[in-house]
Structure 1
Amino acid sequence: MSRNRERAIATVDKALAEGEKMTPADMLFSYKGVLYPTTFSSPETLEALKSFEARSDDVILAGYPKTGTNWLDQILRELESADARYTEEEMKERMDAEKELELSRMKKLPSRRIIVTHLPPHLLPPSFFQGKAKILVLVRNPKDTAVSYYHFYNKMTMLPSFSSWDEYFAAFMNGKLTWGSYFDHTVEWNKHSDHENIMMISYEELQEDQVLGMKKIAAFFGFSLSEEDFSRIAKKTSFQAMKEKSYETHGKSGDILFRKGVVGSWREFFSETQNEEMDRKFEECLGGTKLVAMMKYDVYCKA
């Protein structure tokens, strides 16, 4: 394991340990009306983002928390590595440096940088949209996202836990979680979906046919891979393969980040009333958009 990887894991493990000693009031800060975890960011960092300069060959992955960004992040890195023909050690060094998320360090990284964010468009650097950098936006149906985020919230010691699913569901529906409202986030990204340098892909379509999804992503970023590359990467980045190596790659947070990796587990938590409320909210915010078909909402989210 590289030194950068060891340092990254140690940083997260330390944050988990510190979270056990923090009061709920100290765990979060508010920036422009949205909550963020103090162990992951700060108002100063979010302000500094405004002047961050994107490069024309930057690879940017955006997604609301627990929509599958850790999974797709690894897929992206494998695709980019295969295209650039990095050695495994070179890939690890680049990945570890990027995952430190320090702006000063990010500016010094050689191209091609891979940047992962949970932020909505209006909080990202204007340069992301003004140049030729390409943005891949990952979406996932709100019901499975809500359940996955619920488990994440209650297992990450640096986040205030919820006493019940019902209490959490109310917070999710009202956007009172870290990184804000799922609906506001998804609606805002959908408004940018016709931008020539933005592509949207769903967790559901990647689950159904990962190789086909990877081919779409590779075409969007201009990566050149062989059929053997796609097959190898699909096996290496299957959910089960990543879960089995999660402690090695992510330390103590690995088991939290990689839980089930399935579509449809929301049925174990939603009451009939909550299901109907979510359907109404989804229709109100996203009804008539291409995201409905992309997430296969009528297939996976109808009781």
Structure 2
Amino acid sequence: MSMNRKHAIKFLDKIFTDGSKLAPEEKLFSYKDVLYPVILCQPETFQALETFEARMDDIILAGYPKTGNNWLTHILNSLKITAEKYTEEEMKRRIDIEEQLAMTECLEFGDPGKFKRMAKLPSRRTIATHLSPQSLPSSIFKNKAKILVLVRNPKDTVVSYFHFNEKMPCFPASAWDAYFTDFMNGKVSWGSYFDYVKEWDKYIDDENVMAVSYEELKEDLNLGLKKIATFFGFSLNEEEFQRVVELSSFKAMKEIAHKSHGAFGEVLFRKGCVGDWKSLFTESQNQAMDRKFEECLAGTKLGAKIKYEVYCKV
């Protein structure tokens, strides 16, 4: 959502401070049978979520946690800023507004009053979320905002999520085997990965919805960015595309992680690779994940997008 990092860093630093004060059993709460971290989300915010009024020109990014959301949010903002050719004065005005409104990165993060404050943000707004479609405000679909759905193969997702939980004090720590079991059963923050992908698969043929995979962006970021730009109506020349690509590589983002995300940067930008699941998965876990994918996602369009046979087989 934000081009301004000052408030974002302050918010992220608070996560570390406040999260470390909580006992493990205090770190998560359940809302409609889905777990969420109390430091990031509030039940009252979910209750107020339906008051959010989407705009037709909003840029919505929906991705399950640890599928590349921060990376793609950065890309979307870079494409938007480059295409709309903000002047220095316009950029400063937008940054000042976001700072005054204390905007957080994710739709469901923060206090319930944020939705009224979001109405004061100038268009176009970039809005990220980890929520499934049935949990999103109805205005997003009613007003035909364009939604980019991000997916990543489940084996790399669970490994990345595990390492993230280890280092983030707002999540209860867990050993790998126990975390794997919780992930497979949907007993992690934001719920079941498999349910998430299945629910978004129902919308994949909508004209206002486009899917992109983490893996295809890693394979050819230039081509991926051009598809995304076309979907959202961003107009860039080849030189502008190349500049966004160069600034959006994992290496480039990791180098500025401390500046862009404070202490959170080291946690957020760990490896950024495909295939890291091989470092933790046992043979029995491999077989369990293969069966789960076949049961839940084989035959779906988003399941095909993930290219499970390519990225998740030994």
TM-score of Structure 1 vs Structure 2, range by shorter chain: over 0.9
- Give 1:230's aligned residue: 241
8 Å Cα contact 1:204/1:295 also seen in 2: yes
The alignment's TM-score, normalised by the length of structure 2, stands at: 0.92
Superposed displacement of residue 5, structure 1: 2.6
2:24/2:172 contact within 8 Å kept: yes
Q: Give the gaps of 5 or more residues in structure 1.
A: none
Per-residue Cα deviation, 1:217-259 (whole angstroms, up to 9, x for no partner): 0110111111111100010010011011001000111011111
Aligned to 2:104: 99
Where does residue 29 of structure 1 map in the other structure?
29
- Equivalent pair of 1:98/1:114 in contact (CA under 8 Å): no
**How far apart, in 1, do the equivalents of 2:67 and 2:5 lie?**
24
Distance of 2:15 and 2:312 partners within structure 1: 35
Cα deviations by residue, 1:74-127 (Å, 9 ceiling, x for unpaired): 000000111110146717727766535532221110111110000100110001
Q: Does 2:285 align with 1:274?
A: yes
Compared CA separation, residues 215 and 117, structure 1 to 2 (3 A):
same
CA contact (8 A) 1:64 1:118 kept: yes
1:290 aligns with 2:295: no
Farther off after superposition, 12-21 or 119-128:
12-21
Alpha-carbon distance between aligned partners in 2 of 1:198 and 1:61, rounded to the nearest angstrom: 10
Equivalence for 1:121: 133
- State the distance in 2 between where 1:43 and 1:292 align: 31
1:18 CA displacement: 1.4
Distance 1:88 1:277 in 2: 53
Instruction: Describe the SS at the equivalent of 2:230.
Output: helix
Could you list the runs of 4 or more consecutive aligned residues of structure 1 that deviate by over 3 angstroms after TM superposition?
94-101
| 1:64–1:139 CA contact under 8 A, matched in 2 | yes
Partner residue in 2 for 1:247:
258
Find the residue that maps to 2:123 and give its secondary structure: coil
Answering whether residue 198 of structure 2 is matched by residue 178 of structure 1, we say no
- Determine the structure 2 residue equivalent to 1:46: 46
Question: Contact between 1:98 and 1:113, CA under 8 Å: does it hold in 2?
Answer: no
What code does the residue aligned with 2:104 have?
K
Letter in 2 for 1:127: S
CA offset at residue 11 of structure 1?
2.1
Please list every run of 5 or more consecutive structure 2 residues that lacks an aligned counterpart in the other structure: 108-113
Q: Secondary structure at the match of 2:211?
A: strand
Cα shift readout 1:35-90 (whole Å, capped 9, x = no counterpart): 11111111110111112111010000000000000000000000011111014671
CA distance in 1: counterparts of 2:59 and 2:302, whole angstroms: 22
| 2:16 equivalent in structure 1 | 16
Greater CA drift, 265-274 or 292-301: 292-301
Q: Does 1:205 align with 2:216?
A: yes
